[in-house]
Copies of this chain bind each other. A is one copy, B any other.
Amino acid sequence: MPTPETVLAHADATLPAAREALFDLLRIPSISARPEHARDCLRAGEWVRDYLAGLGFTAALRPTPGQPIVVAHHPGPPGYRGPHILFYGHYDVQPVDPLELWTSPPFEPQRVEGKHGPRYVARGAVDDKGQVMMFLSALRAWHEAGGGIPARITVLIEGEEEVGSINLDPFLEANKAELATDLALISDTGMWDIDTPAITTRLRGLVFTEVSVRAASRDLHSGLFGGSALNPINALCAALGKLADDQGRIALPGFYDRVKPVAAALAGEWRAMGFDEAAFLGDIGLRAPAGEQGMPGLERLWARPTADINGIWGGYTGPGAKTVIPAEAFAKVSFRLVPDQDPDAVADAFRRFLAAHLPADAKAEVRVLSGAPGIEVAADSPAIRAAREVLTEEYHRPALLVGSGGSIPVVSSLKRILGIDSLLMGFGLDDDQVHSPNEKFEERCFHHGIRAHIRLLERLGR
C-alpha cells in the first residue's frame, strides 16, 4: 500500500486542480435562505454527488421536504477494520447582501494575493464549500495516488445548514441504520491562527427567533394619532432595549440558571493562549468589548450565552420622511447558548420577557426558526488524539483544544440520533469574513487542510 507521503506529494502536485474543482462548486449560488435559489441548491447537491461518484462512492441525492441531502458510501479497502467515519458538511451558503460591499461578484471566485499568500474570495469560500472540498480533495488524492479510499466512509452533505438544518434531524432518524457509523468528522470550524492548528471541543448552541409586534389595525398618521396610539416600533425597541442589563447580562428570567462557570483548569488553558481581544476587535474597527463586563474575552466568546438582534424592520424605510405610526414591527433575535441551557426553555423565557415588557395593546408573536443546545465533546478520545497527532506532524507544532462561539447543530443531532461523537478539525481563520461580504479562504489553509485529512484518514484506519 502506498504511504501517505506519496499521496501527500500527489496532493501538492494537483493543488491547482483541487482549486478549480472548488471554484466550479463556488460558482453555483446555492443560497438556501432564498426560494429563488432552490434550483441552484439542487445543482450544488448534484455537483457534490457526481464528484463522489467519480471517486468510486455509491452516491445519491436524497430528497427532503427542503433541499436534498447528498449521501455517499465507500466500504474502504478490503478487510478494513478501523472505524466507520461519517463526514458531514453542507453545500448551501449564506445570502450575499449587502452586495455593494463585495469587491468582486460573490459567485465568481477569485484567487487574489493577501498577506498570507493567495486566497480565494467568494461566498462559501470557507463556509463550507472550501472546507468540504479539502476533504473531498484528500479522498481524490487517495483515489488517484494511494490505491483507493483508505477507510470506510459515509459522506453526508446537506443543503440547509444556513437555514437551521430544518430537515436534517428527520432524515437522520429515518436513515438511522444506513448512517450507523463510529465517528463523525466535520470541517466547519477554525484554526487558532494561520500557523497553529486547532480542534474544537466546545460549541455554543443557538435559538433563532422571529418576533412580530402588532398594534393598531392599520398604519396611522403620526400627527393625528401621535400621543394616543401605541407605536409598535417604539414598543419593540423599549422591550428589546432591555435584553441586556447595564453589566451586559441577558435579562430573560432564569437565563443563567443552567450556565456553569468554565472549569478552572480549562479557563487556565484558555488564558495561556494569550488571546489579544484588543487586536481581535481592532481588526473590525472596534475598541471596547461588548457583552458581559469583567469576563475574560475567550470565555465571553466560547462559554457565555448572548442575545443578538440579527435584523429589525418596520414602518417607512424608503428615502425621505413619512410620518407614519405603523401597524406592526419585526425583529430577528437569536440567543447563543452554552451546554445545559435548553433552547425551548430559552424561547419560552423570551416570550415571557416580551409579554412583561410590552404594553397590553402590543400583540407579540415569537416564532422559533431553529434551535440547538451547546455542545462539549470529550477531549481525550482516540479520534481527538489521532487528530492532534496528524496536525502536529503537518504544522510542526501542537494543536490547541479550543471552543467556538458558533453553533454546529448537527453535532448534537449526531450524538442524540446516531449516538456518535464529532471530531471538529477545521481550517478557517477569524478574518475569513464568514457570512459577510468578501468571504475568503487562504490557499495555505486549503492546502494544509487537504494534507491533514490525507494523514488523518490513514491514521484513523490503522
Are the C-beta atoms of A301 and B228 separated by less than 8 Å?
Answer: yes
Residues of A402-434 at the interface with B, using a CB-CB cut-off of 8 Å, are 404-407, 430, 433-434
Are the C-beta atoms of A361 and B313 separated by less than 8 Å?
Answer: no
Please give the distance in Å from A274's CB to the nearest CB on chain B: 16
Chain A 306-317, CB-CB to B under 8 Å as 1, else 0, gives 111111111111
* Total identical chains: 2
Interface status of A436 (Cβ within 8 A of chain B) = yes
Residues of A146-164 at the interface with B, using a CB-CB cut-off of 8 Å, are 162-164
Are the C-beta atoms of A227 and B306 separated by less than 8 Å?
Answer: yes
Given contacts A221-B435, A237-B241, A318-B95, contact A361 B308 (CB under 8 A): no
Please give the distance in Å from A164's CB to the nearest CB on chain B: 5
Q: Which of A53-61, A323-331, A384-392, A442-450 contacts B (4 or more CB under 8 A)?
A: A323-331
Interface status of A264 (Cβ within 8 A of chain B) = no
Are the C-beta atoms of A237 and B240 separated by less than 8 Å?
Answer: yes
Please give the distance in Å from A453's CB to the nearest CB on chain B: 23
Chain A interfacial residues counted at CB < 8 A: 103
Are the C-beta atoms of B290 and A230 separated by less than 8 Å?
Answer: yes
> What B residues does A311 contact at CB under 8 A?
233, 314-317, 322, 324, 326
Query: A314's closest neighbor in chain B, by CB?
Result: B312
Query: A325's closest neighbor in chain B, by CB?
Result: B308
Please give the distance in Å from A436's CB to the nearest CB on chain B: 4
Interface status of A194 (Cβ within 8 A of chain B) = no
Contact of A332 among B34, B316, B433, B437 (CB under 8 A): B316
Given contacts A284-B218, A324-B435, A436-B218, contact A228 B315 (CB under 8 A): no
State the CA gap A95–B332 with chains docked (Å): 26
Most chain B CB neighbours (cut-off 10 Å) among A219, A301, A326, A336: A219
Interface status of A196 (Cβ within 8 A of chain B) = no
Interface status of A83 (Cβ within 8 A of chain B) = no
Query: A275's closest neighbor in chain B, by CB?
Result: B228
Given contacts A223-B206, A321-B208, A370-B321, contact A359 B288 (CB under 8 A): yes
Are the C-beta atoms of B216 and A309 separated by less than 8 Å?
Answer: no
Interface status of A6 (Cβ within 8 A of chain B) = no
Interface status of A262 (Cβ within 8 A of chain B) = no
Please give the distance in Å from A114's CB to the nearest CB on chain B: 15
Given contacts A221-B436, A241-B242, A359-B290, contact A308 B216 (CB under 8 A): no
Are the C-beta atoms of A322 and B336 separated by less than 8 Å?
Answer: no
Interface status of A215 (Cβ within 8 A of chain B) = yes
Most chain B CB neighbours (cut-off 10 Å) among A242, A291, A297, A310: A310
Counting from the closest, the 10 A-B pairs by CB-CB distance are A241-B241, A223-B406, A217-B285, A311-B315, A227-B300, A233-B309, A33-B320, A227-B291, A238-B241, A311-B316
